[in-house]
Structure 1
Amino acid sequence: MRHFLAIALVAIVLPAHAQSYPTRPVTIVVPYPAGGPTDQVARQLAPKFSAKFGQNFIVENVAGGGTNIAGQRVARAAPDGHTLFIHNLQVSANVSLYKTLPFDTEKDFQPIAMINSNPLVLVGKKDLAAKTLPELVAWMKTSKARMGHPGIGSTGHLATFLLAQALGVEVTHVPYRGAAPMLQDTLGGHLELFFATPQQVVGQFASGAVKVFGITSKSTSPQFPGAPSLVAAYGPKLDISFWHIMLTQSATPKPVVAALNGAFQDALKDAELLKVWANSGMAPYPPEQRTPEGAAAYLKQQIAHWGQVVRENNIAAPTN
């Protein structure tokens, strides 16, 4: 009898969570400084959620610790849907990069939805001797190119390893604290190559301030005419998507997760938002990966995939 009453009570209480949610402003934690692509996605979605729920959704930038400081902040928050997490591919790579994490990625987080993704572009300084991808590869075989990336485990960092592996070359890894200083050093001629998201360099490419030698997708991009597919040229390992995911705590009531997912699905009906994403080279995920279950399955697959890349290349995060 007690067991029956407990089940009945849960059945009554859970829908009430969704009806009353949110009861106060909601924090969207971004594990990077303001201004980067993940921060931009969070700030594009926040007003859509605010309008849907009638409460403020506030973006909070919690940078540092290879994004794990932010992860710990979210994992330890109350599981009531008032602290959300917008992250990218690095959340899957960190599982294998770090010997220990202050949370269990698959057990402590509940995916809400896969948000969007875009390929990366291989960017070079404008006075680099090479003009085409074959010329660049020939140059890289005789020069240990200085390639920048925004930190251990970042998408750009992993893409740099995969590029060097595919080309059979060695490169000099130059870590930066974000994409902005990498771009500035490339514009100044101090950095030779780096991987960027399309939105980070489309203006500089159009003005001739940088070169783009290739794109990490099976198809080319109208934003970068003349830039070939790195996948077509050097194989499927260079089919790399920079993706975004929305997460919350695993113990968050399912009706709240469903309500948040519904708000995200509604946001995708906004033609202006989709236009902004398209102009930035981003596209939403297929419907089956925009559900909590689909997002969880995709995250699990990405953890396995990037774990293999990390192990094959002996990549490890610093221990100090």
Structure 2
Amino acid sequence: MRRFFEAAARRAAALALVAGLAAAGLPAAAQDAATSWPTRPVTLIVPFVAGGPIDVIARVQAQRLGEILGQTVIVENVGGGGGALGAQRIARGTPDGYTFVMGNVGTHAYHPTLYAKPLYDPVTDFAPVGLTTESARLLVARKTLPIDDLKGFAAYVKANHAAMSFGSGGLGSATHVPCLLVNQAIGATVTHVPYRGAAPAMQDVIGGRIDYMCDSIQTALPQVKEKNVKALAVLAPTRSPILPDVPTATEAGLPGVEANAWNAIFLPKGTPDAIVRKLAAAVAQTLDDPLVRKRLDELGLSIVPPERRGPEVLAAYVKEEIARWAPPIQAAGLKVE
């Protein structure tokens, strides 16, 4: 019997030793996986339909990012909810680094105030990677609207708001809230028509089915140049170098109406820090590439400087932006049930 218990004790000790060695090896294995990441293609979620402003930016950066990472970057469009459905996919995603999202001011600053029941927490449900670009919103109107400038537009909207409509890329999107600021400044309530992306909204402005929208300057630019729409004001502190003749809203008579938008990369929460850092470095390298910079400049985008690109900076910035946008959203009485 004594021999039995001694043998059992030896077996238990051996099993404990094996278990201890396995447990000790887990961090090293996880570290090895993070170091070798990525070993297969990665997916960049664009939370809007193809052809919109975020989609354009993502595709400009994706090819170079893939070259830097040594793997293909697949751009996948997941539209709906003003970008919230695509962002939600990442908030609930597997934290292995193989799927991430290009979020923006709509998905990560407007969302928690706008939604009665938010689909995710922008602060706690993501691993921030870094800011990438910023851009102004441009107020554009259908070309048949009988006005020539922002002053005339404001007067027309006041007189005809009950029969007018404006479009956006979805409730709470970065093309929705800026127009709310415009409407508030004018003092008018106008019917909002949400689309599944900014591109179809712009098509309806061009077709005269809606009256105006506040689009990203990079996607509105071709339509302005072709005179398919009227550019009335840049919703930014300064004029844009790509549309130098278009005044700011403040210059044109609506002081303080500013709605610069930003874009950033987010991974699911719990993603290993080594992967977060590696992706952040690759994204930063992409932004410093001369060809990428040239294309983004042509689109009227401002590339975020190096000191504002890190994960820690983005984490703090998201909190600041949520606090910044909560008052105007609440003042507009906007809430998605």
Output the TM-score relative to the length of structure 1: 0.90
Structure (1 or 2) with the larger CA radius of gyration: 2
Among 202, 206, 227, the alignment partner of 1:187 is 206
Deviation at 1:7, TM superposition (A): 12
Q: Deviations over 1:243-286 (max 9, x none)?
A: 11100012111111111011011112211111111111111113
How many residues in Structure 1 have an aligned counterpart in Structure 2? 313
SS for the counterpart of 1:248 is: strand
Matched, 1:35 2:51: yes
Deviation at 1:142, TM superposition (A): 1.4
Q: What amino acid is the match of 2:226?
A: S
Point out the more displaced range, 84-93 or 42-51. 42-51
Q: What amino acid is the match of 1:119?
A: A
Q: What is aligned with 2:260?
A: 241
For residues 283 and 8 of structure 1, do their structure 2 counterparts lie closer, same or farther at Cα, with a shift above 3 Å needed? Answer: farther
Among 70, 75, 78, the alignment partner of 2:86 is 70
Unaligned runs of 5+ in 1: none
Q: What is aligned with 1:112?
A: 129
In the alignment, the residues of structure 2 paired with residue 231 and residue 302 of structure 1 have an alpha-carbon distance, to the nearest angstrom, of: 22
In the alignment, the residues of structure 2 paired with residue 265 and residue 102 of structure 1 have an alpha-carbon distance, to the nearest angstrom, of: 29
For residues 172 and 31 of structure 1, do their structure 2 counterparts lie closer, same or farther at Cα, with a shift above 3 Å needed? Answer: same
Q: What is aligned with 1:58?
A: 74
Matches within 5 A, 1:296-311: 296-311=315-330
Q: What is aligned with 2:9?
A: none
Output the TM-score relative to the length of structure 2: 0.86
In the alignment, the residues of structure 2 paired with residue 223 and residue 53 of structure 1 have an alpha-carbon distance, to the nearest angstrom, of: 32
Q: What is aligned with 1:212?
A: 231
In the alignment, the residues of structure 2 paired with residue 96 and residue 228 of structure 1 have an alpha-carbon distance, to the nearest angstrom, of: 30
Kindly indicate whether the alpha-carbon contact (under 8 Å) linking 2:49 and 2:196 is maintained by their aligned counterparts in 1.
Answer: no
Q: Deviations over 1:81-131 (max 9, x none)?
A: 111111111112111122223432211101101110110111012222211
Unaligned runs of 5+ in 2: 1-20
For residues 24 and 310 of structure 1, do their structure 2 counterparts lie closer, same or farther at Cα, with a shift above 3 Å needed? Answer: same
Q: What is aligned with 1:151?
A: 170
Q: What is aligned with 1:269?
A: 288
Kindly indicate whether the alpha-carbon contact (under 8 Å) linking 1:212 and 1:224 is maintained by their aligned counterparts in 2.
Answer: no
Q: What is aligned with 2:138?
A: 121
Q: What amino acid is the match of 1:158?
A: V
Matched, 1:231 2:273: no
SS for the counterpart of 1:234 is: coil
In the alignment, the residues of structure 1 paired with residue 191 and residue 276 of structure 2 have an alpha-carbon distance, to the nearest angstrom, of: 43
Q: What amino acid is the match of 1:245?
A: A
In the alignment, the residues of structure 1 paired with residue 81 and residue 211 of structure 2 have an alpha-carbon distance, to the nearest angstrom, of: 27
Deviation at 1:8, TM superposition (A): 8.6
SS for the counterpart of 1:156 is: coil
Point out the more displaced range, 67-76 or 110-119. 67-76
In the alignment, the residues of structure 2 paired with residue 128 and residue 102 of structure 1 have an alpha-carbon distance, to the nearest angstrom, of: 38
For residues 66 and 178 of structure 1, do their structure 2 counterparts lie closer, same or farther at Cα, with a shift above 3 Å needed? Answer: closer
Matched, 1:87 2:109: no
Q: What is aligned with 2:42?
A: 26
In the alignment, the residues of structure 2 paired with residue 259 and residue 127 of structure 1 have an alpha-carbon distance, to the nearest angstrom, of: 50
Q: Deviations over 1:185-217 (max 9, x none)?
A: 222223221111122222222232221110011
SS for the counterpart of 2:189 is: coil
Q: What is aligned with 1:139?
A: 156
Kindly indicate whether the alpha-carbon contact (under 8 Å) linking 1:17 and 1:256 is maintained by their aligned counterparts in 2.
Answer: no
For residues 192 and 120 of structure 1, do their structure 2 counterparts lie closer, same or farther at Cα, with a shift above 3 Å needed? Answer: same
In the alignment, the residues of structure 2 paired with residue 68 and residue 136 of structure 1 have an alpha-carbon distance, to the nearest angstrom, of: 31
SS for the counterpart of 1:105 is: coil
Point out the more displaced range, 301-310 or 115-124. 301-310
Kindly indicate whether the alpha-carbon contact (under 8 Å) linking 1:176 and 1:182 is maintained by their aligned counterparts in 2.
Answer: yes
Point out the more displaced range, 210-219 or 141-150. 141-150
SS for the counterpart of 1:191 is: coil
Q: What is aligned with 2:10?
A: none
SS for the counterpart of 2:233 is: strand
Point out the more displaced range, 122-131 or 173-182. 173-182
Matched, 1:286 2:286: no
Aligned alpha-carbon RMSD (Å): 2.3
In the alignment, the residues of structure 1 paired with residue 177 and residue 150 of structure 2 have an alpha-carbon distance, to the nearest angstrom, of: 20
Among 188, 194, 202, the alignment partner of 1:175 is 194
Q: What is aligned with 2:60?
A: 44
In the alignment, the residues of structure 1 paired with residue 25 and residue 307 of structure 2 have an alpha-carbon distance, to the nearest angstrom, of: 32
